[in-house]
Amino acid sequence: MPEQRKTFHQELDEIRDDIVRLGALVGEVIPRGTEVLLTNDMGGAQAVIEADDELDDLSLRIEEHCYHVLALQQPMASDLRSIVTGLWLTGELERSGDLMVNVAKGTRRIYGVSLDPKLRGLIERMSEEASRLMKLALDAYAERNASLGVAIDDIDDTLDTLHGDYIEAIFESHATHDIGLQASVQLALIGRYYERIGDHAVNIGQRVQYMVTGWLPEQTGAARLVARRSLAAEIGAENSVPEAESGQ
């Protein structure tokens, strides 16, 4: 029996290491995709798109591993939460990788458009901010640091502000006819991809909080709904009281 517990924990460790690796792949592809975008590197764009296969492969393997452990070991309590969190994180990370593939594809669509330094600077900063958030989220996961996990939501504000500035800069560039409408729309979408990566990092942070404490932010909303329903039920009951009395 103790032998079996040991292998179970080994499996949990393996899952954790694999997720850290998946996170590292995502952390690498963010600056890499940005460099491709800023240097108009078509070969690099293709390489980023192909590199995503490795990410997909690893995330599939992690997912299967999680199902395997769930089915065979039937973990409880915090072990169960670790596995479920692993499943969630895999999805979030895989999606973040896909967003960088979208950036690479967007790079191909705007080929030949020269970006003014201000736009380039903002893209660089959004990329740095997105990869910083991703790293913090992964740190929170690896260290099981719930408070860091929750804080990522607030840290993400910087990226949101940058995204706003970036959209402004696109408008300016378009107004001065530096870039056409199509390129503007592509650039706006690219900005949106970075902003989404930040959101995925926030989600990861919240899931880490769930893993450690068993609590999710959505539960506040759910609790409100329950309170509202029971209040409505009470009012409904009060209203129906006279009827019941009259019935007697």
Partner 1 sequence: MNPVVWSALIAALVAVALATVVARFFWNRAQRNQVYESTMRLGFEISSERELVRFDDLLAIVERSVRDLRSDTLQSESAQFRLQSALNALPVAVMVFDGEGAVIESNAASQPFLEARHGDALVGAAVNDLIRVANSGSEASTAIDLFGPPKRTVLVTTVPLPEDGQPGAVAFVEDITERRQLEAIRTDLVANISHELKTPVGAIGLLAETLQGEENRDIVDRLAHRINAEAMRIAQIIEDLIELSRIESVDGAGSAIVELAEVASDAVERFRTAAVRAQVSVQLVVLSADTRIVGERRQLLSAVGNLIDNAIKYSDSGTVVDVTVEAVGNDIVVKVADHGIGIPTRDIDRIFERFYRVDQARSRQTGGTGLGLAIVRHAAVNHDADIDVESRLGEGSTFTLRFPSSNGVTDSAETEVPTLNKRT
Judged by the rule CB under 8 A, the positions of this chain that interact with partner 1 are 17, 20-21, 23-25, 27-32, 35, 38-39, 116-122, 124-125, 128, 131, 135, 138-139, 142
Contact criterion met (CB below 8 Å) for 141 and 19: yes
C-beta of 80 vs 165, nearer to partner 1? 165
Compare residues 132 and 207 and give the one whose CB is closer to partner 1: 132
In the bound state with partner 1, the residue whose beta carbon lies nearer, of 98 and 139, is 139
What is the nearest approach in angstroms of partner 1 to the Cβ of residue 138? 7
CB of 28 to partner 1, least distance (A): 5
* 22-25 own/partner pairs: CB under 8 Å, 24+ apart: 22/55, 22/58, 22/59, 22/62, 22/89, 22/90, 22/93, 22/94, 23/89, 23/93, 23/134, 23/137, 23/138, 23/141, 24/138, 25/51, 25/54, 25/55, 25/58, 25/97
Q: Return the number of the residue (45 or 138) whose C-beta is nearest partner 1.
A: 138
Closest distance to partner 1 from the beta carbon of 23 (Å): 7
Task: State the minimum distance, in angstroms, from the CB of residue 142 to partner 1.
Answer: 6
Report, in Å, the least distance between residue 121 CB and partner 1. 3
Separation CA 127–CA 16 (nearest Å): 26
HSE at residue 105, side-chain half, CA atoms within 13 A, is 11
Task: Provide the Cα torsion 202, 206, 209, 210; round to 10°.
Answer: -150
Smallest separation, CB 165 to partner 1 (Å): 11
User: 45 or 119, CB closer to partner 1?
Assistant: 119
Structure tokens at 220: 């506040």
Indicate the residue among 17 and 53 with the shorter CB distance to partner 1: 17
Instruction: List the structure tokens of 93.
Output: 């990370």
Distance in angstroms (rounded) separating the CA atoms of residues 41 and 43: 6
